[in-house]
Amino acid sequence: MPGLVVLGAQWGDEGKGRIVDLLAADAQVVARYQGGHNAGHTVVVAGQTLKLHQIPAGITRAGVLCVIGNGAVVEPLSLVAEMDEVARLGFDLGQLRISRAAHLILPYHQALDQAQELSRGAAAIGTTGRGIGPAYADKAAREGLRAEELVHFDSFAAHFRQAAAAKNEMLVRLYGQPALDVEAMLEQLRPVAARLAPHIADTSLLVHQALRKGQRVLFEGAQGTLLDIDHGTYPFVTSSNPVAGGACVGVGVGPSEITRVLGVVKAYTTRVGGGPFPCELSDEVGEHLVRMGAEFGTTTGRRRRCGWLDTVVVRYAARLSGFTGLAVTKLDVLSGLPRLRICTAYRCGGVVTEDWPPVGHSLADCEPIYEELPGWSESLGAVRRWDDLPPTAQRYVGRIEALVGIPVDLVSVGPEREQLIVRRDAWT
Ligand code: IMP
């Protein structure tokens, strides 16, 4: 009964979607455990690009049960639009299940997120504006509406009217924004509720039953470790727990069900939105990474900030989630850079640390300490075997293993499904 968690080891956008897509070939269940439509997973199948925000990346595999867990937040309108797109590309939605306990992102959450960001001025977090923070805030305040309520639309509508009236007060009085039209929002939600209702289930039970049958369950994280609300670069974080422990809470399984944890590491570092980023590059190497890596957000289209690989960050992520293996993605993007750098430690004030900055220091005060390695000029897109990688590329990946202390199971060398080097089975 293997339970494998796949999560991002950096600030999100590590390429988890394509890794989940690959590993889902050997899974019977893929369960998303946190986040909402702030996430964007791109999967390229037979030349078709599928951009997923809420539906687990396993949806491209026939017969795989795809679960949106209770730890996720569900935006009903965009979920239905995403379901339509998935169906249009010929994938089966019959296997999609949404946890009855997943909280809903409603239009007023989105309006509040945007109003709050505006009011933060220079201290803005740079959220995706999708309503994530306000939806999780309502969950914690015990004021949220959950997916299960969509099944009985009349009682949902009563609860919605009450909640929306309170949010309108906030929008108008606190943020000087226009009030939202409550009845118009409800009319938009009515057909959507009917579409989603057949997919709403006790997903913890479904996952439990699968595990008892000895089936393989893949727990899919969104965003990344450094965006974790508890362990990330607070307050420049998202409002959920991408770390592996979030998989237990966010799907409703015990920790003993998790047998493997795969950390997905981009071969360099990117971040979207505000917040500290010690290895950020604003030179021509940063430009190379943006251009060659197509570093623009799947959800918002924003240009990602790029920098050298930071192994302090990845070691920290490995500690928090107990990685058993790593998947290194986008190694091909580094082709053509004559010298490569890897951050091995920070200098924070007078202190040198290979760990997360000590108490009294923040990431914003840390300077990276780099090690330099030779690069390679060959393009890697056609490489499928470890032995066929240029020796300098092998050495780069080998340094990641040594510096993080975790084996690299997979290396991706391009966006297509088959552009991958498998060194070890991540499931076993
Ligand atoms: P929120 O999750 O929309 O509230 O945004 C909070 C922070 O997390 C912002 O810096 C976002 O740019 C970042 N973020 C949210 N989702 C993703 C993602 O899927 N990839 C990368 N960054 C993200």
Atom index in ligand 1 nearest the CA of residue 39 equals: 19
Q: Is 227 in the pocket of ligand 1 (CB under 6 A)?
A: yes
pLDDT score recorded for residue 41: 83
pLDDT tens per residue, range 403-414: 999 999 999 999
Atom index in ligand 1 nearest the CA of residue 299 equals: 19
Q: Parallel, antiparallel, or unpaired for β 65-68 and 420-422?
A: unpaired
Name the average pLDDT for the chain: 95
The contacts of residue 223 (CB under 8 Å, 6+ apart) are 8, 11, 12, 34, 35, 38, 39, 238, 240, 242
Residue identifier of the C-alpha nearest atom 11 of ligand 1:
127
Give the largest CA-CA distance in the chain: 65
Q: Above pLDDT 70, what percent of the chain?
A: 100
Q: Is 276 in the pocket of ligand 1 (CB under 6 A)?
A: no
pLDDT band at 173 (very low <50, low <70, confident <90, very high): very high
Q: Is 125 in the pocket of ligand 1 (CB under 6 A)?
A: yes
SS3 (DSSP) at 265: strand
**What is the mean predicted confidence (pLDDT) over 389-417?**
96
Residues with a catalytic annotation lie at: 13, 41
Residue identifier of the C-alpha nearest atom 8 of ligand 1:
238
pLDDT score recorded for residue 300: 79
**pLDDT at position 46 over 80:** no
128, 239, 280, 363: residue to mutate for ligand 1 pocket, most atoms within 8 A of CB: 128
Cα of 161 from ligand 1 centre, angstroms: 29
pLDDT tens per residue, range 299-356: 778 899 999 999 999 999 999 999 999 999 999 999 999 999 999 999 998 899 999 9
Atom index in ligand 1 nearest the CA of residue 275 equals: 10
pLDDT tens per residue, range 245-276: 999 999 999 999 999 999 999 999 999 989 99
Residue identifier of the C-alpha nearest atom 15 of ligand 1:
38
pLDDT band at 396 (very low <50, low <70, confident <90, very high): very high
Is 295 within 8 Å of 304 (Cβ atoms)?
A: yes
pLDDT score recorded for residue 1: 61
